[in-house]
Amino acid sequence: MDGSEEIDRLNSRLHWERGGPLAPIADQAVDAFASRVEALLAWVRERAEERPLVSLFFAFQLGLAAGRWGPRRAKR
């Protein structure tokens, strides 16, 4: 066995033991998700610059909705 063949074999074995065959697929999925989130944030930033009052209104509405979805407190 050649020295380079041995190195290739050990590298592939190390890659398999580290993440297995699903690691590259998971990396691609995370990268795709991150790029979508970045695009969404850029779009929101653009819209907020164009219409700041509308953006402020939507942020207020989201805050109210998040407050209602929170844990229920005991009513007295």
The per-residue pLDDT for 76 is: 55
- Eight-class DSSP state of 53: H
Domain ranges of the chain: 21-69
CA separation for the pair 63, 52 (Å, rounded): 16
- pLDDT value at residue 1: 57
d(C-alpha 34, C-alpha 28), whole Å: 10
For the stretch 17-68, pLDDT in tens is: 666 677 778 889 999 999 999 999 999 889 888 898 988 898 899 889 888 8
> Going by C-beta distance under 8 Å and a sequence separation of 6 or more, which residues neighbour residue 1?
9
For 1-6, what is the mean pLDDT?
78
For 55, residues 6+ apart whose C-beta sits below 8 A from its C-beta are 44, 47, 48
